[in-house]
Amino acid sequence: MHTTSIKKETILAAPVADFVPHSDPMVLLDRLVDFTDNSLTAEVDIQPTSRFFIPAVKGIESWVSIEYMAQAIAALAGVKAHLAGEPVKLGFLLGTRKMDIASPLMLAGQSYQIHIEELYMDDSGLGAFSCSVTQDDTIISEAKLNVFESDDTNQLTHNE
């Protein structure tokens, strides 16, 4: 088996928390499914114990999908950092351009796929990603997200 394949399998088997700068209960993605140099697919299983679950509607409102998309972007950055032997960096969601929500809810008992693809990432840490959340190839939401990643977390958080 090729070394790259083994490394990829190891990453895909690892907890998502290894690649995102979040701690429980805010790690919302359940697993990484696939990644390339500029894209990543993750999944989330909607359950009554899921963060943001609303029992009255038996699901999660689809506006939460923007956070799933942002965490998938963070996971791609974390995978890249891991492969380079570097620590996971802090990143920020700056905003979105044209978020479309096709379905108001993500329902309990369903798995949803989060797909992100890097459109650009410049040397300053500014980037843009094309993102979607789907369920069995049905689009739930889509957006273009603008993000910022920095090596200097002290400057960003005003820590001395």
Q: Residue 83 is part of a domain; what is its CATH number?
A: 3.10.129.10
Q: In which band, very low, low, confident or very high, does the pLDDT at 23 lie, cut at 50, 70 and 90?
A: confident
Number of domains in the chain: 1
Q: In which band, very low, low, confident or very high, does the pLDDT at 1 lie, cut at 50, 70 and 90?
A: very low
- E strand or H helix that includes residue 85: none
DSSP state letters, 13-35 = HS-GGGTSS--TTS----EEEEE
Q: What is the pLDDT of residue 150?
A: 78
The residue segments making up the domain with residue 63 are 3-157
Task: Read off the pLDDT of each residue in 83-95 and give the average, rounded to a whole number.
Answer: 90
Cα separation, 42 vs 75, whole angstroms: 9
Let me know: does 115 contact 134? Beta carbons within 8 Å: yes
Cα separation, 7 vs 12, whole angstroms: 9
Let me know: does 111 contact 44? Beta carbons within 8 Å: yes
- 142 pLDDT higher than 90: yes
Let me know: does 67 contact 22? Beta carbons within 8 Å: no
Q: In which band, very low, low, confident or very high, does the pLDDT at 4 lie, cut at 50, 70 and 90?
A: low
Q: What is the pLDDT of residues 45-85, one digit of tens each?
A: 999 999 999 999 999 999 999 999 999 999 999 999 999 99
Task: Read off the pLDDT of each residue in 116-124 and give the average, rounded to a whole number.
Answer: 94
Q: What is the pLDDT of residue 152?
A: 61
Compute the radius of gyration of the chain from its Cα atoms: 16
Task: Read off the pLDDT of each residue in 20-41 and give the average, rounded to a whole number.
Answer: 91
State the average pLDDT for the chain.
Answer: 90
Identify the three-state secondary structure at position 103. Answer: coil
DSSP state letters, 35-54 = E-SSEEEEEEE--TTSTT-B
CA separation (Å) from 112 to 70, 82, 117, 126? 15, 25, 17, 27
